[in-house]
Homo-oligomer: A and B are copies of this chain.
């Protein structure tokens, strides 16, 4: 017997927690543009909801002229939009903050990319007719449970300001990579808000309702808020779009290499504009050179690569920093905040050449 199959190597999700299920993507090992559902990171606030999707209806309610309920079949008959987008958890890279912050200790893999097909949320809102007092649109999921900070049960819900809700690329999606959305990622309907951190892309949509005030749910007003100070809430502001960011996929940190030619490679993304430049340093940030960047669609990550010929044995600190079309650049020191959101300091990887 020879074992061609059993010696096939592949990567898996990395478990951070099973109750609820939080698993990150082996992002260093992903080279495809459309991440397979089995490697799509999982971030849950509660146990998976159970509901009977055979009787599934999506209500659009609140401050609208004509409240309406859609079946999934109804949505399939409306004009569709397909969007390739990065989804990144606001807590991605949280484990890199110093001082350490509490919460799921994500490394670099709370990020994914795929193609979502669905109906623009504004199509549904216009059909329902927004009332003049409309200010925010709340999207509620089927997932609920207890939080550690209160004894009451909460449903996962988030709001969008009206302009973001009416953006044509904010969609109620029913397909991921040309298939029905996998259950763990929001089947049958998931909101997709490109460019925003993924807490806005509510899974298992239960209802959408329009309100005339600022939504006060705990996942809006307690979590997903930047608190710049340890001991006070002063200066707090909401988490919205993704910061400009990048990762080095290869080599890996503390890897031992031969002298010779190596390709440093990775991805970069931004929640505002496009990635315009990725720079690489092989001397810990003293000097920088441009990496070759392969342009990508709006909302997608770019791949970049840098050929490195190492003539001299020794230890090297490799760094990467991305710049977007809004001139935003990864900072050398991260913006520390108490709940650990939005980490985007320059990437750093140490290697030894022997």
- The one of B3, B15, B54, B257 that contacts A26, using a Cβ cutoff of 8 Å: B15
A21, A105, A254: residue with the most chain B Cβ atoms closer than 10 Å? A254
CB distance from A250 to the nearest CB of B (A): 10
**Number of copies of this kind of chain in the complex:** 2
Contact, CB under 8 Å: B2 / A50: yes
* Cβ-based interface call for A256 (8 A): yes
- Docked complex: A168-218 residues within 8 A CB-CB of B: 182-184, 187
CA distance A100 to B350 in the complex (A): 10
Residues from chain B with a CB closer than 8 A to the CB of A332 are none
CB distance from A66 to the nearest CB of B (A): 29
* Cβ-based interface call for A153 (8 A): no
CB distance from A181 to the nearest CB of B (A): 11
Residues from chain B with a CB closer than 8 A to the CB of A9 are 18-19, 21, 48
- Docked complex: A1-59 residues within 8 A CB-CB of B: 1-3, 6-7, 9-19, 21, 23, 26, 28-29, 48, 50-54
Residues of A within 8 A of B (CB): 1-3, 6-7, 9-19, 21, 23, 26, 28-29, 48, 50-54, 100-105, 148-149, 182-184, 187, 252-258, 350-352, 354
A-B contact pairs, 15 of them (CB 8 A): A1-B52, A3-B50, A3-B183, A3-B187, A6-B184, A7-B50, A9-B18, A9-B19, A12-B13, A14-B15, A17-B252, A102-B254, A148-B256, A148-B258, A149-B354
